[in-house]
Each structure stands twice: as structure tokens, then as C-alpha cells.
Amino acid sequence: MTHCLEAPGTDEAPEYSSLYRARGDEVVAQRPIFTGDVFFGVPVIGEDEPKNVVVLQHPCVIRKGLELTPKLLVAEVRAEQVHRPSHWPRLPRQMPLAELVVDGAQTHYAGFFVDHQLVVSGSLDVNLRVAAMSQRGVNLLMQRWVHHNSRVIVPTQDYQEVTGSQYEEADIIEEWCIDRECDGISLDDAAVEIDSWLTGDKSASSPRARLEDPQQRSAVRREARVHLRELRS
């Protein structure tokens, strides 16, 4: 396992759906843009026609606080046949996106690393997002993208360690913004609220800093939920 590109499940029991946190209509606007997000029909720098793309970069370099970096590296997404898991190691130039749901229909796509592009981050409209990846999906994408660029294969469990806190933060932001929109707070205002709470005093004891310690994540979640209840009361 250590020395080959990993895949979701086995040929007998493929787990393509494990790549995604949400697909199609399930994707919510409240989730911050993250590594592995798939967008359809977005303007790409240097191209006349909109493209379908998947966000490639590690989560720690695509944003600073609330703000996305001005330009993001993406790979073009096109329709592709489904590849059973045992074939994934033979496809080092792509990230298979099996069972993507577009316009209510399940279809197979892939992100092609050789066709990487730049997008202006402001053009990534969350309403054009058709999929958000699970942690498993993000880790597989990182493994394949790094291998494509360097021929080094790092086990996904190691990517889990270096993407875990950012994924956790995205989860907390999503939950917060969903709940605050129910309270009549705009998405932008809710995002500012939770970013401010996560940042705290910017010390090592701030919620964002504590998310880096896996053993503190459940406590930070509880505190965020208590903070929400206090705001509502």
C-alpha cells in the first residue's frame, strides 16, 4: 500500500461515493471553497470559454482567513470512463471523479493534471460548485497531484495529518453559517462572525490554533456550538 497510488475501495466493492462530502444538489453555499471542490462553467484565465475545473492546491495555501488568494491553480475536468479501483495506479495524470452528480444525473469525470489552469478566485461562484470532496477524496487528490509533479508517493494517511485541521475548520464554518442563516444572518456576516471567533486573540489557545491538535477538535466543536447557543439566547 505504501508504494502505490491508492484508490477508493476494491474492484469487488468500489467506494466512489467516499470521494465526496456532497454532490449535485447536496452541495451547500455555506461551505468555504476548499481543495477538491469541483466547479462547472467558470471563467479561466487565458481561455475564451468557461471550463469545468477542480481546485488543486493544499488548503493552507488557498486562503488566508476569509480571503482566498487572488488566483488559484485548478485542473480541467472532462467526462471520462469509469475506472475500477485497481486501474487507478495506472492513471497518474488524472484524478478520477467517478459518480459525479451533474444536473441530477450521475456521470463519470476526471480532473486532468496536464491541463492545469489558473482561475481568478472571485470567479469561483459557490453556486457553480457541483461537488465538495470528503477528507478521503482530498487526501487521494493530494497524493495523485504530488505524485504527478514529483514522482513521490506519500500515503494518504500522512496527508490526513496535514489537511485535518483545515478540513475541520471548513466543517465548523459550514455548520456555523448554515445555523446563522436560519437565524436570518447573511452568509457574509455569518462567515465574518465565525472567522472572528476562530481567530480569537490569535494566540496558541485560539480555537483555530487548537484545531491543529486532533485531541482538541471535539472541544472546539463543543465550544462553537455553545457560542452559537449563547448568541441565540
Partner 1 sequence: MASPTRTWESWTSSLRSLGTGSGSVPDVLEPGPTPTQTSAVTATDKARQRRELSGAIRTLATAASEAATDMHQGDYMVEHRVLTSELAGAGGQVLLNELAHLGFAWRDIAKMVGVSVPATQKWRRGEGLTGENARKLARLVAGCEIIQKFNPVITDVAMWFESPIVDEAPVTPIDLWATDNQQLVFEHARVDVSAKVDPYLTMDSFDPNWRETYRSEFETFRTEDGELSIRARKR
Site for partner 1, rule CB under 8 A: 1-2, 17, 21-22, 26, 28, 60, 134-135, 154-155, 157-162, 165, 168, 171, 175, 178, 212, 214-215, 217-219, 221-222, 225
Measured from the CB of residue 43, what is the shortest distance to partner 1 in angstroms? 28
Measured from the CB of residue 154, what is the shortest distance to partner 1 in angstroms? 5
Residue 48 per-residue DSSP state: S
Q: Whose Cβ is closer to partner 1: residue 82's or residue 178's? A: 178
Q: Whose Cβ is closer to partner 1: residue 69's or residue 157's? A: 157
Measured from the CB of residue 142, what is the shortest distance to partner 1 in angstroms? 10
Measured from the CB of residue 17, what is the shortest distance to partner 1 in angstroms? 8
Burial zone of 133 (CB within 10 Å; 0-12 exposed, 13-18 middle, 19+ buried) = buried
Q: Whose Cβ is closer to partner 1: residue 25's or residue 47's? A: 25
Separation CA 29–CA 100 (nearest Å) = 18
Q: Whose Cβ is closer to partner 1: residue 178's or residue 192's? A: 178
Q: Whose Cβ is closer to partner 1: residue 122's or residue 157's? A: 157
Unique residue bearing C-alpha cell 488566483: 71
Query: Which residue type occupies 11?
Result: D
Q: Whose Cβ is closer to partner 1: residue 114's or residue 202's? A: 202
Measured from the CB of residue 161, what is the shortest distance to partner 1 in angstroms? 5
Separation CA 137–CA 117 (nearest Å) = 20
Measured from the CB of residue 152, what is the shortest distance to partner 1 in angstroms? 9
| Dihedral sign of CA atoms 42, 48, 51, 56 in order | negative
Spell out a b/e string for 148-177, using b for 16 or more CB atoms within 10 Å of the CB, else e.
Answer: beeeebeebeebbeebbbbbbbbbbbbbbb
DSSP conformation letters of 153-188: ---HHHHHHHHHHHHHHHHHHHHHHHHHHHTT--HH
